[in-house]
Structure 1
Amino acid sequence: MADSPRQLPPPADPRMLAVLVVVTYAAAVIALWGFVSLALDVNVVAQTDAGPLLGPAMVLASVVVTFVALLRVRRRRSPVVAGVLAAASVYVVMLVVGAVGYTLIRADAAWLVLFVGAYALSPFVLGAAVLAGAAVVVMWASTRR
């Protein structure tokens, strides 16, 4: 009986790993926000008139930024700069989306500055930014052989 050649699976699409990592990132942010909210006994968005969609909009924006960073980190020699840039980008984007969203809800331009001032040191925003940087570093490390 002749040995038949073994067929190898098709090469994996490198973007698929980025999708898996960003989904894990989104789940980690949601879990972090839940635990921090329970531990500190505070709401993620303290303003009661903000509605139920402002927090998820901020998370969605951070997921998009993190996904773009994950797609770009494969080509780098070191993940440090990419991780710091991802964390800083997520931090800024979350504050901007939150501030613009709440400003539109309140119809008062002063909330552009007031929202950023209120949430600049929020553990929710800082935690999401740190997780984004960690996701980028983990993705880079997992693609090295």
Structure 2
Amino acid sequence: MWWLGYGGLVPFFVLSVVLLLGSDVPLLEGVRLDWWLAAYAAIILSFLGAVHWGAALGMQDALSERELGKLLLYSVVPSVLAWFALLLPANITLLVMASLVIGAYVVDRLLLFPKLDSNYANLRLHLTVVVSLLLIAAATA
């Protein structure tokens, strides 16, 4: 879990640093790396929502109908909001994505972490801080 989680930071870090330095990447001259970063953030947000779907399926016998409904309903929210954010100008999109990553952590803290028996909450806190700071920094580039 830790290796995969931290490994998922690599595209955020590389793309944000390249954007902040304003440099070109060989073979990718003229490519909108800010949109690559925004698209990657949207994919990660979809994954964060999907964790709720998986938790709901895995715990459906132990959850009340209301709890199950909350997890399933929320599971699609990050991807839909991220998709709409992709319609905005790139720098605004990156700021919205940062906000959505932070918001996803808050929702996870309320709905998901109390139901899990793992270090997932700690991992998510670390990843949320790094990702949101990188997205905000890239938005200013």
TM-score, structure 1 normalization: 0.37
Rg larger in structure: 1
TM-score, structure 2 normalization: 0.38
Q: Which structure features the higher share of helix residues? A: 2
